[in-house]
Amino acid sequence: MALQGIDVSHIQGVIDWEAVAGDASNIKFAYVKATEGTSFIDPEFSVNYAALESVGIKRGAYHFFHPSDPIPAQVQNFLKVLGDMQQGDLPPVLDVEVSNGLSPDSVADNILQWLEQVKNALNCTPLIYTSSGFWNGSVGANSLFATYPLWIAEYTTRAAPILPQGASDYAFWQYSSTGSINGIQVPVDLDYFNGSEDNLNLLG
């Protein structure tokens, strides 16, 4: 059985993480928005990230990517806000869902720059969050991304998501954007981890 998780940002407002931890859905992990572009910092990140550690839910952070913004500044924004990763933290995620008008080759090149710089800084392999529709049209198949685990967004009744070009497997699947979880007053994204709890622990 896939492990249940969520991902959140300031859009979810103030979250009661004790209530989330006690929810019947048995939340095992949560990804929290940290940054976007070169300067935006999610106002709820620091509170959410600290609370996750206190309630014992595995945590990870993500950056919303703007391919047209300077890559080093985006990396710096994310790393400064994230700070030092703690043992057991999940690898960071690059949220890729806009092209900012750039060509697929340019988008792909800039994605790879962010991933490599963060990988080198944190000594862990980041994940890529995207949807097949966006990736196929705005990035395309590229063997250079094969070593970066995939978090796929697709809302469907199928037993598994359709993967983007060039992908053979996925680590996480965001399967709903309308979840209802104790402690969160508005709809929240729901995710599955494609593996066991031991597999999840090996990620971070």
DSSP string covering the chain, please? -PEEEEEE-GGG-S--HHHHHT-TT---EEEEEEEETTTEE-TTHHHHHHHHHHHT-EEEEEEE--TTS-HHHHHHHHHHHH-SPPTTPPPPEEE----TT--HHHHHHHHHHHHHHHHHHHTS--EEEE-HHHHHHHT---GGGTTS-EEEE---SSSSPPPPTT----SEEEEEEEE--TT-SS-EEEEEESS-HHHHHHH-
Lowest mean pLDDT among 31-35, 179-183, 198-202: 198-202
Q: pLDDT at residue 148 above 90?
A: yes
pLDDT band with cut points at 50, 70 and 90 for residue 1 = low
Domain holding 139, by residue range, is: 3-203
Q: pLDDT at residue 143 above 90?
A: no
Average predicted confidence (pLDDT) for the chain: 96
Catalytic residues: 97
Q: What is the pLDDT of residue 48?
A: 98
Q: Which tokens belong to 51? A: 């609370």
Lowest mean pLDDT among 60-64, 67-71, 86-90: 86-90
Question: What is the rounded distance in angstroms from the CA atom of residue 94 to the CA atom of residue 127?
Answer: 6
Per-residue pLDDT, averaged over 49-55, amounts to 97
Per-residue pLDDT, averaged over 153-159, amounts to 93
Q: CATH number, domain at 93?
A: 3.20.20.80
Q: pLDDT at residue 129 above 90?
A: yes
Give percent of the chain with pLDDT exceeding 90: 92
Question: What is the rounded distance in angstroms from the CA atom of residue 134 to the CA atom of residue 154?
Answer: 11
Contact 163, 152 (CB under 8 A): yes
Counting the structural domains of the chain, the total is: 1
